[in-house]
């Protein structure tokens, strides 16, 4: 049954940016409504140890996000399990449609839809997704006990995924297109010391191959970026960890974006080009993309929303 819900501020997204905005907006008595989206808790729910969240030497990503949700709820943020499908920004109050059929009517909106894994874009990658091809080691690593695994990428995610997968795999090969990683040095040290991991530099994935019936990965073909030489790497699991792209579907036609789709905000601010619409976290951040920076921007967005609503009350 379609229904409608009015609020002063609608927060779209339940990662560190969304929940932090929820805490600050609730404590400012704005009675925020936060819509969680398809991934309640955001990206940190698909990782294990987080070692750079201040105050926790080590914390499991899903635990941290549960605590953030509980905190937001405890101070009065209404957390709703729903997905926003479209927003009409033409006039205030803004009207957001959702998957459940509920229409959210909001005086201000904080967008905190974060980012999602990028894929290589190969037809064979698409074919074997869910049948040996994955972008989430914590979700799928368990299926590859005692098997060989290939991971592609050279950032923090690729190195963390490769290390995590050594808990299950007999061997993990990290394939990277250059000869140096952009991952943090502490993670690189762990990677190079791990006897189950080998690295293949200067190679790109050109094909995933496998069996048809049942559908399953048997290996990947890789090509040397300089010589062009092609070789096969047998594996049962292939993990893609080549970065993340902003989840900008709701706004890409109405808000300016840059650097591959990140929403542009005013300098030193979370304000977008639409008055009353603020954007925080990985959706706007092509540089840092950390939990703590996302949380910081969530705080900024709530404080700026509070100021905006105070200045525009009755308008
Ligand atoms: P996200 O966490 O991406 O959350 C986005 C939210 O938006 C989700 O809840 C989603 O459901 C919601 N959403 C999207 N679309 C809609 C919609 N249409 N309607 C409603 N809701 C919607 N950072 C660190 O600081 N330390 C780490 O150790 C670390 N480890 C990581 C490990 C992995 C495997 C990955 C992928 C990332 C890691 N990061 C880490 C980065 C960190 O997770 C992100 O910087 C952070 O989660 C971004 O927070 P966010 O709130 O902007 O968005
Ligand atoms: P990233 O830092 O953008 O790195 C992406 C990697 O994939 C790069 O090494 C890149 O190669 C490679 N790559 C990109 N496109 C490719 C393609 N088409 N084919 C082959 N390789 C490709 O992404 P990320 O590792 O997912 O990290 C995203 C953000 O989350 C970062 O800000 C990161 O710090 C953060 N994060 C933090 C932690 C942590 O703090 N522990 C953990 C995970 C993620 P090049 O190097 O050649 O460009």
Q: What is the pLDDT of residues 31-55, one digit of tens each?
A: 999 999 999 999 999 888 898 999 9
Bridge partners (DSSP) listed for residue 111: 12, 279
Measured in Å, residue 310 CA sits from the centre of ligand 2 at 40
The average pLDDT across 249-268 equals 96
pLDDT of residue 314: 61
What is the share, in percent, of the chain residues with pLDDT greater than 70? 99
CA gap 79, 112 in Å, rounded = 14
Q: What is the DSSP letter of 42?
A: G
pLDDT of residue 1: 55
Nearest to 120 by CA among 228, 216, 223: 223
Q: Check if the beta carbon of residue 283 is closer than 8 Å to that of residue 112.
A: yes
Q: CB within 8 A of 59, min separation 6: which ones?
A: 49, 50, 53
Using the predicted structure, report yes or no on whether residue 67 has a pLDDT greater than 80.
yes
Pocket lined around ligand 2, Cβ cut-off 6 Å: 52, 120, 152-158, 160, 177-178, 182, 204, 242-244, 289-290
Residue 140 designated active-site:
yes
Which residue of the set 82, 107, 140, 285 is catalytic?
140
Mean pLDDT over each residue of the chain, to the nearest integer: 96
**Ligand 2 atom 26: residue of nearest CA:** 243
pLDDT of residue 139: 84
CA gap 96, 19 in Å, rounded = 19
The average pLDDT across 137-155 equals 94
pLDDT of residue 216: 95
CA gap 65, 68 in Å, rounded = 5
191-240 pLDDT, tens digit each = 999 999 999 999 999 999 999 999 999 999 999 999 999 999 999 999 99
What is the share, in percent, of the chain residues with pLDDT greater than 90? 94
pLDDT of residue 2: 65
CA gap 240, 211 in Å, rounded = 19
Using the predicted structure, report yes or no on whether residue 180 has a pLDDT greater than 90.
yes
19-28 as b/e, with b when 16 or more CB fall inside 10 Å?
bbbbbbbbeb
pLDDT of residue 74: 98
pLDDT of residue 48: 84
The average pLDDT across 76-92 equals 97
Measured in Å, residue 156 CA sits from the centre of ligand 2 at 6
Using the predicted structure, report yes or no on whether residue 99 has a pLDDT greater than 80.
yes
Q: What is the DSSP letter of 194?
A: -
Using the predicted structure, report yes or no on whether residue 27 has a pLDDT greater than 80.
yes
**Counting atoms of ligand 1 from 1, which one is nearest the CA of 288?**
45
Token pair, residue 302, equals 């709530």
Confidence of residue 130 (pLDDT cuts 50, 70, 90): confident
Confidence of residue 123 (pLDDT cuts 50, 70, 90): very high
Q: Which ligand is nearest to the CA of 292?
A: 1
pLDDT of residue 95: 98
pLDDT of residue 106: 98
Residue 139 designated active-site:
yes
Read off the pTM: 0.90
Measured in Å, residue 269 CA sits from the centre of ligand 2 at 26
Q: Check if the beta carbon of residue 235 is closer than 8 Å to that of residue 150.
A: yes
The average pLDDT across 16-35 equals 98
CA gap 4, 97 in Å, rounded = 9
**Counting atoms of ligand 1 from 1, which one is nearest the CA of 116?**
3
pLDDT of residue 212: 96
CA gap 110, 32 in Å, rounded = 10
CA gap 145, 155 in Å, rounded = 24
Q: Check if the beta carbon of residue 83 is closer than 8 Å to that of residue 99.
A: yes
């Amino acid at each position: 049954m379609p229904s409608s819900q009015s609020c002063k501020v609608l927060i779209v997204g339940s990662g560190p940016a969304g929940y932090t905005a929820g805490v600050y907006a609730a404590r400012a008595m704005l009675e925020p409504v936060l819509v969680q989206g398809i991934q309640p808790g955001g990206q940190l729910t698909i990782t294990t140890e987080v070692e750079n969240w201040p105050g926790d030497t080590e914390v499991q990503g899903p635990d941290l996000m549960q605590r953030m949700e509980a905190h937001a709820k405890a101070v009065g943020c209404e957390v709703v399990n729903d997905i926003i499908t479209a927003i009409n920004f033409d006039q205030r109050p803004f009207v957001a449609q959702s998957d459940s059929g509920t229409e959210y009517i909001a005086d201000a909106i904080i967008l905190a839809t974060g980012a999602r894994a990028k894929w290589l874009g190969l037809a064979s990658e698409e074919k074997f997704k869910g049948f040996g091809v994955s972008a989430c080691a914590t979700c799928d690593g368990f299926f590859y006990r005692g098997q060989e695994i290939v991971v592609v990428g050279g950032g923090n995610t690729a190195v963390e995924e490769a290390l995590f997968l050594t808990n299950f795999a007999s061997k993990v090969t990290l394939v990277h297109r250059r000869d140096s990683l952009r991952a943090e040095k502490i993670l690189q040290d762990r990677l190079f010391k791990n006897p189950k991991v080998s690295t293949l530099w200067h190679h790109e994935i050109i094909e995933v191959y496998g069996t048809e019936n049942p559908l399953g990965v048997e290996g990947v073909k890789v090509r040397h970026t300089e010589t062009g030489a092609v070789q096969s790497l047998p594996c049962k699991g292939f993990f893609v960890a080549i970065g993340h792209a902003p989840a900008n579907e709701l706004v890409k036609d109405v808000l300016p974006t840059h650097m591959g789709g990140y929403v542009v905000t005013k300098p030193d601010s979370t304000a977008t080009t639409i008055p009353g619409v603020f954007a925080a976290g990985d959706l706007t951040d092509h540089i840092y993309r950390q939990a703590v920076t996302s949380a910081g921007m969530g705080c900024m967005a709530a404080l700026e929303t509070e100021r905006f609503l105070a200045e525009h009350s009755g308008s």
